[in-house]
Amino acid sequence: MLAVEIIAKKRDGLELSREELQWLVSEFLAGNVPDYQMAAWLMAVYLRGMTTAETVALTEVFLASGQQLDLSFLPRPTVDKHSTGGVGDKTSLVLAPLLAAAGLAVAKLTGRGLGHTGGTIDKLESIPGFTTDLTDQEFLQNLRHIGLSMIGAGPTLAPADKQVYALRDVTATVGSLPLIASSIMSKKLAGGAQHIVLDVKYGRGALMPTLEAARRLAEIMMSIGQHFGRKMGAILSDMNQPLGYAVGNSIEVKEAIDVLQNRGPADVRELVLALASELMVSSGLSSNNSEAKTELEQLLVSGAAWEKFVEFVTRQGGDARYLHDPSLLPSSPQQLVLAAPEAGFVAELDAHTIGQCAVKLGAGRTKKDGKIDKAAGIVLLKKREDWVEEGEALAVLHGAKQELLQAVAPEALSAWQLSLEPVEKRPLIAEILRS
């Protein structure tokens, strides 16, 4: 085979065989197909798309390039959840211990934040001592003993995807739906869970700009999962404004603790219960979503989910004192209140702007090896539909230096659009898809 022939075939909109995809990826990994040819193929895919068969085949090639975890020894049903990324998205911190407390084995492959979206590992690492740097044996032991473990998607899981993604990142081809789907699903499948729920977000703070794009991506990922024998579900959720009130790392852990202790923001709780209910029904632990929600709410009320979170954090090296007294968690030396320039209802709260400002305050990274300020971030006080008086606080910026807060404040303030007219309510969850 010749790389140029495969590039030309995709350029002309023709379907590639599994053998052609296998050859292209393996030769790229071996260094025989140069970056410029792989980049040309990626752009052809971006412009021409891929059939479902091609996307499944590419996922299979990525999956076969590395290790696949075998969780069949576990007596509990195995589950995982993937979010396409958002601002203030701390659902995994609540969802995972809640499901483990319900009797499921939560094998969570997770990642760090990049750009304006936060990462679960970064949030958890604001708890002193906590680590996701586990051996496979430690990961599996945690699953066996407490039904929950989180590990970073390391170099042994779908390594071909990692190299291809690095090239996508610098060739403006990240937005291709088939490439996104095969990248995500190759890692999810390698993790071994049999039941997977996807939180596919859309809107200003999401990877997918519209509900239609989110639905299409969800459908592609679900078809891949079903091909490999997984039970799939997807929730399409609104990310035009941040989820919850905290955007950062340690401040999001504090908010997650609130939800686990049966308090916290209603939107975080709603999304967690919806995602968890899908997995409860999919795995057979509940007969319907209403029954599942009732059982899950009881685990929050009783404290069982909170106790599981403490057990999980402790088992992965975290110091439980910081959970029992969240005021001990990293906190910023400087704060700045954002005041409303006028009175009105909050018509929009731009999640992308808030996410970008949180990064500028130090809560995120703009390059993969960048360091973060675990205490930095933004605590929102007014969100969409809320009424605010002139001069009333909209949010509090948290950071290391007052000059930094002052520099970020004007951009952060621009995230709020105010209106004298009441604002129409918008649902957090637009659709639920089931296989």
Active-site positions? 82, 161, 168, 183, 187
* β-bridge mates for residue 152, sequence order: 110
Chain centre to alpha carbon of residue 257? 18
- What number of other Cβ atoms are within 10 A of residue 263's Cβ? 11
Phi then psi dihedrals of residue 109, to 5 deg = -90, 125
Cα dist from 31 to 34, 93, 106, whole Å: 6, 40, 37
Tokens found for residue 304: 């069982």
Q: Is-contact 299 102, C-beta < 8 A?
A: yes
Three-class SS state of 430: strand
Distance in angstroms (rounded) separating the CA atoms of residues 149 and 410: 41
d(CA 327, CA 389): 30
Q: Angle of helix 159-169 relative to helix 35-48, nearest 10 degrees? A: 80
Torsion of CA 206, 210, 212, 214, to 10 degrees: 0
Alpha-carbon span 394 to 407, nearest angstrom: 17
